[in-house]
Amino acid sequence: MKNFIVLIFILTLIGCSSTRKIKNKDVTGMWEFPGTMVWIEIKPNNFVYQCRVDKNGSIYNAVGILKKGIIYWEKRWGKDTIIMKNDTMRLNGLYGNYGYIRSSNKMAKKCLSPIN
């Protein structure tokens, strides 16, 4: 039983050290979902824009606001809680848990002037 308690304690420490409380300034910038045409840009004023381009070239986008580590989307996706693990920004929301990496690439031009 003592070994079990020690194991639980160690796992708790590991879990706590791999995530941290999110500061809005830590997540500003451009993020992308690897291997796809999906970007999220978080501005210093906490404005958030997400753009997805599917295989057929259709654009799905949404705007939102970042407050205390949660993105509140105006349409489509509800809200996403940000969880940082190392250099990956994970969004946990209505449709699942997805990991984004910082992007040095620019968002696709068609995302900058979407029709919908």
In a domain, 1, yes or no: no
Number of domains in the chain: 1
Q: Residue 51: which of 43, 40, 65 has the closest Cα?
A: 40
Could you tell me what percent of the chain has a pLDDT over 90?
A: 61
In a domain, 10, yes or no: no
pTM: 0.77
In a domain, 7, yes or no: no
In this prediction, residue 22 carries a pLDDT of 80
| Polymer length in residues for the chain | 116
SS3 34: coil
Q: State the pLDDT confidence band at 105, using cuts at 50, 70 and 90.
A: confident
Query: In this predicted model, which residue has the larger pLDDT, 84 or 116?
Result: 84
Range(s) of the domain holding residue 59: 17-112
Q: What is the arithmetic mean of pLDDT over 50-77?
A: 92
In a domain, 72, yes or no: yes
d(CA 48, CA 32) in angstroms, rounded, equals 13
User: For 84-115, b where at least 16 C-beta lie within 10 A, e where not — what string?
Assistant: beeeebebebeeeebebeebeeebeeebeeee
In a domain, 91, yes or no: yes
Query: In this predicted model, which residue has the larger pLDDT, 15 or 94?
Result: 94
CA distances from 45 to 13, 51, 77, 81, 86 (A): 33, 19, 21, 18, 24
In a domain, 12, yes or no: no
For residue 24, give the CATH number of its domain: 2.40.128.50
Q: State the pLDDT confidence band at 14, using cuts at 50, 70 and 90.
A: very low
Asked if pLDDT for residue 99 goes beyond 50, the answer is yes
In a domain, 23, yes or no: yes
In a domain, 108, yes or no: yes
d(CA 63, CA 75) in angstroms, rounded, equals 7
Asked if pLDDT for residue 112 goes beyond 90, the answer is no
